[in-house]
Amino acid sequence: MVFGDRAADELGKSRKADDTPRDVASRLRTGGLIPAVRGISFEVGVGELFVVMGLSGSGKSTVIRCLSRLLEPSAGQVYIDGEDITQSSHKRLVDMRREKMGMVFQHFGLFPHMTVADNVAYPLKVQGKSKQERQRRAAEIIELVGLAGRETAYPRELSGGQRQRVGIARSLAVNPEIWFLDEPFSALDPLIRRQLQDEFLRLQAELQKSIVFITHDIAEALKLADRIAIMRDGEIVQIGTPADIVLNPADDYVAEFAREVPRARVMTVSDLVEPLDSRVPDTRAPALPMDISLEEALMRCLAAEECRLMPVTNGSGDVVGQLSAGGLARGLGSAWSVE
Say if residue 336's pLDDT is above 60.
no
DSSP string covering 220-279: HHHHH-SEEEEEETTEEEEEE-HHHHHHS-SSHHHHHHHTTS-HHHH-BGGGT-B---S-
| Tens-digit pLDDT profile for residues 156-177 | 999 888 888 898 888 888 888 9
| Tens-digit pLDDT profile for residues 296-311 | 898 898 888 888 899 9
Segment among 53-62, 101-110, 133-142, 198-207 with least mean pLDDT:
101-110
pTM of the model: 0.79
Higher pLDDT, 331 or 66: 66
pLDDT range class, residue 207, cuts 50, 70, 90: confident
pLDDT given for residue 19 in this prediction: 74
Q: Beta strands 309-313 and 288-289: pairing type?
A: parallel
Higher pLDDT, 267 or 158: 158
What percent of the chain stands above pLDDT 90? 37
- Average pLDDT of the residues of the chain: 87
Mean pLDDT, rounded, for 323-328 = 89
pLDDT given for residue 138 in this prediction: 92
| Tens-digit pLDDT profile for residues 120-129 | 999 899 888 8
Mean pLDDT, rounded, for 193-202 = 85
Mean pLDDT, rounded, for 274-303 = 86
> Closest by alpha carbon to 120, among 164, 160, 87?
164
Distance CA 198, CA 211 (A): 16
Distance CA 46, CA 44 (A): 7
pLDDT given for residue 108 in this prediction: 65
Amino acid in position 15 = R
Say how many CA atoms lie within 13 Å of 38 toward its Cβ. Answer: 24
Amino acid in position 314 = N
Say if residue 15's pLDDT is above 70.
no
pLDDT range class, residue 86, cuts 50, 70, 90: very high
pLDDT given for residue 14 in this prediction: 57
Q: Are 213 and 225 in contact (CB under 8 A)?
A: yes
Distance CA 291, CA 301 (A): 15
Distance CA 158, CA 180 (A): 24
pLDDT range class, residue 337, cuts 50, 70, 90: very low
Say if residue 232's pLDDT is above 90.
yes
Distance CA 150, CA 245 (A): 40
With b meaning 16 or more CB within 10 Å and e meaning fewer, what string describes 174-192? bebbbbbbbbbbeebeeeb
